[in-house]
Structure 1
């Protein structure tokens, strides 16, 4: 198994990159979050990888962080999600945004990703429910309340026309025991400053 590549970046054409490792060029596909953080061609790069062997192909996927690779592996375990779909999800959502969507059980955030329909989004939420933890979203005593309030605040902000990234960032900053009304006020105040 190929677990890591370290070498010179010789080509990058989304979503594929080619890394020269001591004279051998490895082609791998990367999510756009990794792609945007790559150095210029001709510079040294290190990617964590996932090697997948199928009947008709041997595929290599690269990631800029262990968190991305672990999330990719977790997505592959979901029934009906293949490597291309998992890569598309990681390209459309950051790991934190995906974890937030799962914690809040928000299929609408996942359906924004190309190729993810309502049924697939619901399956992802169901199968990933216990796989992610969001810091600051839940506390031991009030997990259900915090999840419910955060979800309601998120839905209210989306209904007001704020985009998903701004909304998720604002909801992450809310105190765990906040009420829906206070949460909306605090989130709107935070959004007005950006």
Structure 2
């Protein structure tokens, strides 16, 4: 998987860019939000997602990790393809899409070209819980102000550990390493407590 590309923008258009990465040119499809962020810059970095289809390998690029994450969430919805997800991210910012989903605002989603009433309702139905949990996670990590704990929890969740078990193990690990600023130590200790 190609996580990101950093290089010179050889060609920049509202729909795609050519990035020269040490002599190799990558064609990367982008949203209008990403275009606005990189327009006029001679070089930069894009977070990427490689979609492998029967007929092509297509690379999508995003100026911010939040935009990439929203793109992946949208791709997970039945009936929403990469073109539709990119169109949504060209019409609205990721936080606006998340807000519309959390509030159940199908009309706002329908304002995007290619999104009908049924598609908007399906997006809300399938992503509302994820967006609500994600916003709660962000609020909790901001309110505690401890990014080490948040990073450790995210790592445990990424390993496939259920959230309740991960939180209990993390609390035990933090008690063993109070004030530790090493995420690795906390994660190792939490894994032992599972």
Q: How many angstroms does 1:130 deviate by?
A: 0.7
Separation of aligned partners in 1, 2:32 and 2:121: 24
- What does residue 19 of structure 1 align with? 19
Q: Work out whether 1:110 is the aligned partner of 2:130.
A: no
Q: Where does the alignment leave 5 or more consecutive residues of structure 1 unmatched?
A: 140-194
Conserved 8 A contact 2:51-2:58: yes
- What does residue 157 of structure 1 align with? none
CA gap of 1:66–1:55, structure 2 versus 1, over 3 A, is same
Structure 1 segment 6-155 matched on structure 2, within 5 A: 6-40=6-40, 43-133=42-132
Separation of aligned partners in 2, 1:135 and 1:45: 29
1:55 is paired with a residue whose SS is coil
Separation of aligned partners in 2, 1:54 and 1:108: 31
TM-score (norm 1): 0.67
Q: How many angstroms does 1:22 deviate by?
A: 0.5
Count of aligned pairs between the two proteins = 137
Separation of aligned partners in 1, 2:21 and 2:59: 14
Conserved 8 A contact 2:33-2:93: yes
- What does residue 189 of structure 2 align with? none
Q: Work out whether 1:2 is the aligned partner of 2:2.
A: yes
Q: How many angstroms does 1:39 deviate by?
A: 4.2
Conserved 8 A contact 1:49-1:63: yes
Q: How many angstroms does 1:3 deviate by?
A: 1.1
Conserved 8 A contact 1:7-1:46: yes
Q: Where does the alignment leave 5 or more consecutive residues of structure 2 unmatched?
A: 140-194
Deviations 1:31-61 (A, max 9, x none): 11111010425x1210000001100010000
Conserved 8 A contact 1:9-1:40: no
Conserved 8 A contact 1:34-1:64: yes
Separation of aligned partners in 2, 1:126 and 1:135: 16
User: Structure 1 residue runs of 4+, over 3 Å off?
Assistant: 133-136
Structure 1 segment 152-171 matched on structure 2, within 5 A: none
TM-score (norm 2): 0.67
